[in-house]
Structure 1
Amino acid sequence: MQKIMQTFIQKQWPLLLAFFVPFLTLSTIYIFQGVYPFGNDSLLTVDLGQQYIDFFAYYRQTFFEDPSTFFYSFSKAIGGDMLGLWAYYLTSPFNLLFLLFPHTQITLAVTCLTLLKISLSGLSFGYLLKKAFNGTGFILAAFSISYALMGYTIVNQLNIMWLDGLIFLPLIVLGLERLIDKKAGLLYSIFLGIMLFANYYIAYMICLFLICYFIFRLVSVSYPKETPWKMKFKETLVSIGLFIWHSVLGAGLAGILLLPTFHALMESKASYTKFEFDWELAYPFSEMLSKLFIGAFNFEQMPSGYPNLFIGSLALVSFLCYFFNQSFSKRERLAALAVMILFVVSLNLEAFNKIWHAMQYPIWYPYRFSFVVCFFMLVNGFRSFMHYEGMRPISTFVSMVLTALVSFYVYNGEFDFIYTEQIILTILFTFMVIFLLIIKPQKYTWLPVVFFILTTIEMGLNAQIDLSRLSYVDQDNFTVYQTELDANIDAVQDMDGTFYRIEKTFLRTKNDSFQANYPSITHFSSTFERTIPALFGSLGFPVGDGFLAYSNGTLLTDALFNIQYYMSEKDAPYLVENNNSLETKNAGLKKTLAYAAKPPSLIDALVTPTVSDEKKAAFELSIMQTKPDLRSYKQIGETDRIFIYENQNALPLAFGSSSAILDVSLLEDQPIQLQETILHSLTGNQLAADYFVPSEFDSTVYQNVTLSDALNETTYQKQVLNNDASVSFQFTPETDDSFYLTLSPNIKDEDVELFLNGEPFTQYKTYRDQLILNLASQNKGDTITFKISLKESTIRLKDFQLYRLDSIAFDKAIQSLKTGGMTIEEYGNTSFKGTVNIQKGQDILMTTIPYSEGWAVKIDGVPVQTKQALESLLVVPIDEGKHVIELDYTVPLFFEGTILTLLSAALLLLTALLFEKTIKGGHL
């Protein structure tokens, strides 16, 4: 065994260096920066901390707890298809690593997976250089390290699912090289299919690149001089045909995922696509040069910036020399130049940039396809180096002058991510590479080693500078929040095993429901179906293209969407001040809640990261909303930080309703009116008095403010600009009803500060629709003061109206709907079975499940046609009386996708066995 290992190392040591040098380099940086487990920082920053980490927790839950969530989950807003989310975030084969780590060590798993993927990208690139371009020794390792640690990798390592593209791209290109050279496309199709399965988004960019690369390589194919043009033409046609055929088969191999994902995209991300092109330049082309310098990155480059093109001095100089390297034909070099011009234009021209990003401009992380540009430069830089005779005097002079001019330009430019030290380091490394290329013809045995060492140091410095400019999430805070949330969710679920939804006044991310595995409403993902944010935006909630924050619920929306349990921070002023009266009111009603605050098991204690008592005590919840309505709910338990409430008005997942709900359309910026209409329509009582009654403030107090009124709008302006200015609205409720205030979307966090009874009023900051603010509940006789403090000189309040929810009428309506509610007897993420007793006047079974073609409904064993209410929710016609209801979900196009995958696999095998043998035998 030892001899086998020695032989393996002797033969494969360049590839081992390509893997282990990036691994050790990044590990060393993580150690010095204190990344967990070497310190208290974690990699959970930006989207990795706000989205991906929660999806990784869900990934484990799917394998270990409930495989049905692979298809559908009620942790995704009010429910949603999951295959599209898997295809975008989770289908990387390397994610299996998460199964080896406990739930409490998921941040450690992320660190290990990041190291593994980046190191594997170096290995796969080295394998390409060895097999396709006869790469050997330290030079193979040097270029592989440049690829693994290039600027794109370091900057985008937080988008961990994109790193699969760096691993599989070299293997796909290796397959393409074999297809062109040997007419064998099996390897190409297999790795293309794997890439499309692992991440279709990055695979799309790779597919566009492959077209460019194939044309480039086809143009550069050389034939013996005596080869007839007909033979050349025939060979070219065969290569084109095989490329198209094997590309189609590669896509077909991933059909089991791609077809359902396509259907999901048409309901989500693709539904926002506009085929409109902007032919403007994003910036002057010369500014792109700034990204060729060491450490050319800071946090501001993440939301918007220049493309990440840093590949190191050796690779860059070698690539530039490629265009003057006469070892390659002029035809090939001109083709490479044309490809690079296309890439450079694409990295600037808005229209081309949009095409590369699947017809949508990226939100954050600009120029996500720049890794294929770096790949192209690295491959041809390596090919040039291996056939380069060394720099001549004129080449040396031009190179040094060019380096100096570019450095001078960057030094005088306004690039806040580049300091003088970075420019000096870049010049130093470039000049050293130029010097070594001058003496390359001497073939010193130590020369490759020096190139390797220089490249390793340079790429390591770049990684250190880039990563030092990111802020990291505190590991202890993550651990405290994770364990506390898990404990409370487990407690509720242990107490109540029925189906319900849970919401909170606080959050770590909008995907907490995936982290702790519970049905919720708040959600954020790039594959979020647009109908649900549209619905909740119309109802007065903060939403966007891909997110929904359930932070502005009313008693009606809480009841309608089956939010049976609510969690709130204990020190909320609007709860603390009435805590004694609440305890008295709920005396004798409080259930016994078996909290998971019980001592952890020995295994849990060993695998859970240790947090000091001081850190636990200092931890604070991130508050999302102010919600006095919680006073109307029954407090059923508490922990050190959290109250848990039960909403006894929560409607079941499905209930009988009037068919009038089918005629209700969403209203823009009229959330109270929409909620009013919905409740009237559900009960069929459209002539009843209003549930939401318009009310007036008793008084208004102005401080340093003048006002002017227009239709439905009041403008408030500071009198003295540098002094504090505010408007305070007061009223005294004569009942314990809930009171709500509508706030127009033009009022943002940067414009005002909000206060309720002297305490900050918390509101989720990002919103685009009119909001509903909850100001009072169970406050009879109390003076309520809502204060708006102006940050700007002028603000405009549009449709600023106070409403009182008539609790008597509301309770009566909810109880009438509950009588036709579904009693769920069996349920899972993809199926429900239960009984209903539909009342007179109820001819629709209303659900709060998002409408989808995948849901099939049977009533008393008979399939019924589903319909859509509120432009988003699943409903079915139903008759009065008792019925058995069955709902089952099947992923649209999943069966067809499975057939496509099997058919493609069979055709690929048949092609490999028959067609390629025919080509090799010279019979084609």
Structure 2
Amino acid sequence: MKKRRLLYYSGAFVINLVIISIIFASANLVPFGNNNFLSSDLGTQYLTFLTELRRQLVSGNVHLYLFSQSLGDNFFPVISYYLLSPFNLLLIFFSARNIPVAADILIMLKISTMGVTMAYFLKEYFQERSVTNWLFTIAYSFCGFVASYFYDLMWLDALIMLPLVAVGVMHVIKHHQYVLYYFSILLSIIFNYYLGYMLCIFSLCFFIFIGLEDNLFHQKDKWLVIRRYLISSILAGLSSAVVLLPTLSGMLKTAKTSFDIFNYLPSARFGLEALTELGIGGNSFDQRLEHGPSVFITSTILILLLSYYLSSQVSNRDKQNSVFLLGILLVSMFVTTFNTMWHMFQNPAGFPFRNSFIFSFACIFIARKAWQRGVVNEIGVITKSTCVAGILICLGYLTEWLLPKIIEQLGFDSINIEYSIGYFWLSLACIIFSGFLLLMLNRNKNFLLIIFLMVSFEAIANFNSVMATADFGNQATYENEFDRENEILKEVKARSNLGHRIIVSKSGLNKAFPEKYNNYNDPILFNINGLSLYSSTLNQDTLKMMQNLGYFSYNVRRVSYYGGTKLTNALLGVYYRVRQWDNHYHVEENYDAPTLGFLVDKNVYDFKMKSGQALSNQDRLWQALNGNSAEYFKNALLTSMQQRTVGNRELYTYQLATRASGPLYFYVTPFNYDKAKIYVNGKRIKTSPMNVYSAATLYLGDFKRNKQLEIKILTNKSLGLNPRYFQSLDEAKFELSVDKFKNRSLQITSDLNHDTVRGSINVDEDSPLLLSIPYDDGWSASVDGKKVKIHKVVSNLMAIDLKKGQHTVILNYQVPGLKLGWFVSIIVVILFLSFLWIIKVKDRSQRKYS
């Protein structure tokens, strides 16, 4: 018996492992080849987060505040959303340079494990360990969601947990057992709270479905079962407070709290064109940000699903129950209002219909019910179902072909809908052949093997259709360039003082990526204090402050080092700039900045940013920090401006003279540097290697005072005769102030990798200590062992008051909500154990009485 059980579950695992291995090997992906999947968010975000997690696990130094997240930020929201999968513990067996390999192996293992949990669900529901179940585990593990989003590896754990949640619900209703359900919900939320939330909604839908099947709502003890289910659900949810409370505290500071009424209007999310998703090639990697619901389940499963509703062997009551389950899941994707609610009340920014895997699960489950009812023995039903499946595919592709033409005929701009006629014919052929194999199964059971091969072929073909439009990175190049950059940054860190920041403006890693790599997360990747960040957890107050200082931000999830000036480098403690040029690394060490903390004037408490005035903000800020009214940035003296049309753009020619010796900067908001050309005295100014589509400060060169300049700007933006466009930093005056701040800097003695900043400072007179660390409720400060108040200044930095004398300053960070979360979780776990004990006592007394 144990041997059969082991063979059943290991078979489900190994079959999936073989299929995903074939898929990856055919694409020459690691670990089978030299390609790696550095596209989309896996390359730009998850890779760096996994590298940081591996660093902390290997070193044993787990800390929850990273100075490598832009100017510094709470790392817990990143951990809770991206990194709590137990599979990530395997990262300790990989070197940092091999994390792309580890990511692919994690994906393979997760997809294989989906087969095991789905096999367990099918065994529990149908009460048989049939080899046939493997057919449905393949369809589930390689459903459209997996093929479309496999590289979003933190979501894959939800597909492992979904069958366990379903079994847990069954145990609650059928056996009055609650442990599996409680832990399946709890772990689903912990592993990934976002899709775990969706599984909570699914559990309610599935509870109603199983309740309808078992006639629960007509039984005498219905309210007892419902009450215990609800109590178990609430306790499971509350037990995850250790994750949810600190995550909520962190996420409230991001852009994910925005509200848009249009996301709640009851509009349709898709039309008949979504039917193409039922076939091979329904969407591709290029369409990952916008497409229909990914509900591919293979032709065999689709035919069986349709046959369930066409068969006379299935009662109308069973059909109605399944229509309820599928209907509510379908409506949740189709209607914008419900779709937004399922996605935690936020419209997804790309990667739509993230709940589609639940619909696929339900479809596969109903198809397995059809198999159990013996619909494959009904020749007429299988024939009709095959025809209906083919018609659905035809309708989908016909809509995709006709829709652009209809819109164009109505006088609107034509739209381009990508589809492949080749995949249409392949999908149609697979449906016809699958229907034929199901019919032949009546004559010869050996056709089951061919059906297995057919389902596997479709799973591979659909997976490959998604990857066909994806470009891959080069693993050998990644490893080589990772080692080179890591070595140079180790040297730079060793030369710098603790508490200084480093900019990586261009690295050799760019060569390893298949698409433009903008080094946003290099600070996390190499554990350095930086400025830039690309993450959905980006603190919006930090982002707004940096934008107001002239830094470039592509969207609410990204902030770049680009747009800084000598003044902002001094303010934020930027000491080095590292870049690769002509295959060699160059280190620029000319910033000579203070550390992360330095003494400033009390006027810092009164300073307020003004939106869209970066250079003016910097000038007024430096005046406030110095306690004077000196002019550090000086507008250029404009003598003339000429404008003429060149093609579909305007050419502006400015004649001007600088009013200070030092760097000259240009700032206009908004301004698209990617579509503009700027010349100074005939020499074109190079803009950032990244595409700057909005405002950012641009360095035009160093010039002496009264230097006559001709600046030409070719752009599609309307410009005027405004001297504030061009401003020179009075370098002599500025350097004097920087020297003063350097001499009054906090001498940091901690390595900033233990959620602590420790340092000493000598204060000549009572002054605020400005800390270029984003303000956060998690920070507490003490001076000479006595707790002091932290003030929020300069929009989102921190300052503390210091008295005259020699002081030791210590900042400690504790994740807001984490202690309370632990307290709530521990209390609720105790409550759940008490709940189980009470149930046991009550049930025992009832049995004794009866």
1:176-228 per-residue CA deviation (whole Å, 9 max, x = no partner) reads 111111111101111221121111111112112222222222222137xxxxx
1:560 equivalent in structure 2: 571
SS state of the match for residue 883, structure 1? Answer: strand
2:303–2:389: 8 Å Cα contact kept in structure 1?
no
1:429 equivalent in structure 2: 430
Task: Report the Cα offset of residue 400 of structure 1.
Answer: 4.0
Task: Report the Cα offset of residue 44 of structure 1.
Answer: 1.2
1:625 equivalent in structure 2: none
Match of 1:835 among 760, 767, 771: 760
Task: Report the Cα offset of residue 782 of structure 1.
Answer: 8.3
Determine if the alignment matches structure 1 residue 526 to structure 2 residue 536: yes
1:117-160 per-residue CA deviation (whole Å, 9 max, x = no partner) reads 11111121111111232243332001000011111101101101
The structure-2 alpha-carbon separation of the partners of 1:487 and 1:233, relative to structure 1 and needing over 3 Å to count, comes to: same
The structure-2 alpha-carbon separation of the partners of 1:453 and 1:851, relative to structure 1 and needing over 3 Å to count, comes to: same
Task: Report the Cα offset of residue 447 of structure 1.
Answer: 4.2
Task: Report the Cα offset of residue 731 of structure 1.
Answer: 5.9
Match of 2:346 among 338, 342, 360: 360
Structure 2: stretches of 5+ with no match in the other structure: 402-416, 508-516
The structure-2 alpha-carbon separation of the partners of 1:909 and 1:327, relative to structure 1 and needing over 3 Å to count, comes to: farther
Counterparts of 1:353-432 in structure 2, within 5 Å, are 353-390=339-376, 392=378, 395-396=381-382, 398-414=384-400, 417-432=418-433
Task: Report the Cα offset of residue 675 of structure 1.
Answer: 0.9
2:631 equivalent in structure 1: 690
Please identify, of 412-421 and 643-652, the stretch whose mean Cα deviation from structure 2 is larger: 412-421
CA–CA separation in structure 1 for the residues paired with 2:721 and 2:829: 60
CA–CA separation in structure 2 for the residues paired with 1:660 and 1:890: 29
The structure-2 alpha-carbon separation of the partners of 1:897 and 1:427, relative to structure 1 and needing over 3 Å to count, comes to: same
One-letter code aligned to 2:631: D
1:59 equivalent in structure 2: 53
Match of 1:27 among 21, 24, 33: 21
CA–CA separation in structure 2 for the residues paired with 1:835 and 1:890: 22
1:304 equivalent in structure 2: 290
Task: Report the Cα offset of residue 172 of structure 1.
Answer: 1.7
One-letter code aligned to 2:791: K
The structure-2 alpha-carbon separation of the partners of 1:467 and 1:276, relative to structure 1 and needing over 3 Å to count, comes to: closer
Task: Report the Cα offset of residue 763 of structure 1.
Answer: 2.7
1:565–1:647: 8 Å Cα contact kept in structure 2?
yes
2:597–2:769: 8 Å Cα contact kept in structure 1?
yes
1:541–1:769: 8 Å Cα contact kept in structure 2?
no
2:412 equivalent in structure 1: none
One-letter code aligned to 1:565: Y
The structure-2 alpha-carbon separation of the partners of 1:908 and 1:470, relative to structure 1 and needing over 3 Å to count, comes to: same
Determine if the alignment matches structure 1 residue 514 to structure 2 residue 508: no
Determine if the alignment matches structure 1 residue 745 to structure 2 residue 670: yes
Task: Report the Cα offset of residue 276 of structure 1.
Answer: 5.8
Task: Report the Cα offset of residue 496 of structure 1.
Answer: 3.5
1:196–1:251: 8 Å Cα contact kept in structure 2?
yes
SS state of the match for residue 296, structure 1? Answer: coil
CA–CA separation in structure 2 for the residues paired with 1:333 and 1:916: 36
CA–CA separation in structure 1 for the residues paired with 2:393 and 2:256: 42
SS state of the match for residue 238, structure 2? Answer: helix
SS state of the match for residue 131, structure 2? Answer: helix
CA–CA separation in structure 1 for the residues paired with 2:75 and 2:418: 39
1:138–1:449: 8 Å Cα contact kept in structure 2?
no
Task: Report the Cα offset of residue 733 of structure 1.
Answer: 5.8
One-letter code aligned to 1:97: L
CA–CA separation in structure 2 for the residues paired with 1:921 and 1:174: 27
SS state of the match for residue 86, structure 1? Answer: helix
1:667 equivalent in structure 2: 610
The structure-2 alpha-carbon separation of the partners of 1:798 and 1:173, relative to structure 1 and needing over 3 Å to count, comes to: farther
The structure-2 alpha-carbon separation of the partners of 1:341 and 1:666, relative to structure 1 and needing over 3 Å to count, comes to: farther
Task: Report the Cα offset of residue 673 of structure 1.
Answer: 1.2
Please identify, of 283-292 and 409-418, the stretch whose mean Cα deviation from structure 2 is larger: 409-418
Please identify, of 141-150 and 819-828, the stretch whose mean Cα deviation from structure 2 is larger: 819-828
1:539 equivalent in structure 2: 549
Counterparts of 1:87-98 in structure 2, within 5 Å, are 87-98=80-91
SS state of the match for residue 849, structure 1? Answer: coil
Please identify, of 428-437 and 143-152, the stretch whose mean Cα deviation from structure 2 is larger: 428-437
One-letter code aligned to 2:839: F
SS state of the match for residue 857, structure 1? Answer: strand
CA–CA separation in structure 2 for the residues paired with 1:235 and 1:798: 81
CA–CA separation in structure 2 for the residues paired with 1:746 and 1:46: 26
1:475 equivalent in structure 2: 475
1:254-283 per-residue CA deviation (whole Å, 9 max, x = no partner) reads 222221111111122443345664425355
One-letter code aligned to 1:776: G
SS state of the match for residue 24, structure 2? Answer: helix
2:562–2:696: 8 Å Cα contact kept in structure 1?
no
1:203 equivalent in structure 2: 196
2:34 equivalent in structure 1: 40
Determine if the alignment matches structure 1 residue 272 to structure 2 residue 258: yes
The structure-2 alpha-carbon separation of the partners of 1:726 and 1:402, relative to structure 1 and needing over 3 Å to count, comes to: same
Task: Report the Cα offset of residue 890 of structure 1.
Answer: 1.2
The structure-2 alpha-carbon separation of the partners of 1:436 and 1:256, relative to structure 1 and needing over 3 Å to count, comes to: same
2:660–2:728: 8 Å Cα contact kept in structure 1?
no
The structure-2 alpha-carbon separation of the partners of 1:391 and 1:413, relative to structure 1 and needing over 3 Å to count, comes to: farther
Task: Report the Cα offset of residue 351 of structure 1.
Answer: 2.1
1:142–1:452: 8 Å Cα contact kept in structure 2?
yes
1:20-44 per-residue CA deviation (whole Å, 9 max, x = no partner) reads 2222222122222221343332111
SS state of the match for residue 177, structure 2? Answer: coil
CA–CA separation in structure 1 for the residues paired with 2:187 and 2:293: 27
CA–CA separation in structure 2 for the residues paired with 1:541 and 1:753: 19
1:319–1:377: 8 Å Cα contact kept in structure 2?
yes
Task: Report the Cα offset of residue 795 of structure 1.
Answer: 5.0
Task: Report the Cα offset of residue 777 of structure 1.
Answer: 2.4
SS state of the match for residue 667, structure 2? Answer: strand
1:575 equivalent in structure 2: none
Task: Report the Cα offset of residue 15 of structure 1.
Answer: 2.8
SS state of the match for residue 806, structure 2? Answer: strand
CA–CA separation in structure 2 for the residues paired with 1:844 and 1:871: 16
Structure 1: stretches of 5+ with no match in the other structure: 1-6, 224-228, 572-639, 707-716
1:157 equivalent in structure 2: 150
What fraction of aligned residue pairs are identical, expressed as a percent?
Answer: 23
SS state of the match for residue 834, structure 1? Answer: strand
1:671–1:770: 8 Å Cα contact kept in structure 2?
no
SS state of the match for residue 267, structure 1? Answer: coil
The structure-2 alpha-carbon separation of the partners of 1:313 and 1:9, relative to structure 1 and needing over 3 Å to count, comes to: farther
1:565-596 per-residue CA deviation (whole Å, 9 max, x = no partner) reads 1113446xxxxxxxxxxxxxxxxxxxxxxxxx
The structure-2 alpha-carbon separation of the partners of 1:135 and 1:746, relative to structure 1 and needing over 3 Å to count, comes to: farther
CA–CA separation in structure 1 for the residues paired with 2:712 and 2:126: 71
One-letter code aligned to 2:823: I
The structure-2 alpha-carbon separation of the partners of 1:496 and 1:689, relative to structure 1 and needing over 3 Å to count, comes to: closer
The structure-2 alpha-carbon separation of the partners of 1:518 and 1:461, relative to structure 1 and needing over 3 Å to count, comes to: same
Task: Report the Cα offset of residue 753 of structure 1.
Answer: 3.8
Match of 1:657 among 574, 597, 600: 600
1:743–1:773: 8 Å Cα contact kept in structure 2?
no
Please identify, of 861-870 and 344-353, the stretch whose mean Cα deviation from structure 2 is larger: 344-353
Determine if the alignment matches structure 1 residue 503 to structure 2 residue 503: yes
CA–CA separation in structure 1 for the residues paired with 2:448 and 2:31: 36
1:859–1:883: 8 Å Cα contact kept in structure 2?
yes
CA–CA separation in structure 1 for the residues paired with 2:187 and 2:238: 11
Please identify, of 727-736 and 265-274, the stretch whose mean Cα deviation from structure 2 is larger: 727-736
Task: Report the Cα offset of residue 166 of structure 1.
Answer: 0.8
The structure-2 alpha-carbon separation of the partners of 1:549 and 1:457, relative to structure 1 and needing over 3 Å to count, comes to: same
Task: Report the Cα offset of residue 833 of structure 1.
Answer: 2.1
Aligned residues: 819
In the superposition, the TM-score normalised over structure 2's length comes to 0.90
Please identify, of 127-136 and 102-111, the stretch whose mean Cα deviation from structure 2 is larger: 127-136
Task: Report the Cα offset of residue 421 of structure 1.
Answer: 3.0
CA–CA separation in structure 2 for the residues paired with 1:417 and 1:239: 49
Please identify, of 478-487 and 94-103, the stretch whose mean Cα deviation from structure 2 is larger: 478-487
2:313–2:375: 8 Å Cα contact kept in structure 1?
no
1:185–1:246: 8 Å Cα contact kept in structure 2?
yes
Task: Report the Cα offset of residue 313 of structure 1.
Answer: 1.4
1:298–1:417: 8 Å Cα contact kept in structure 2?
no
CA–CA separation in structure 1 for the residues paired with 2:841 and 2:134: 35
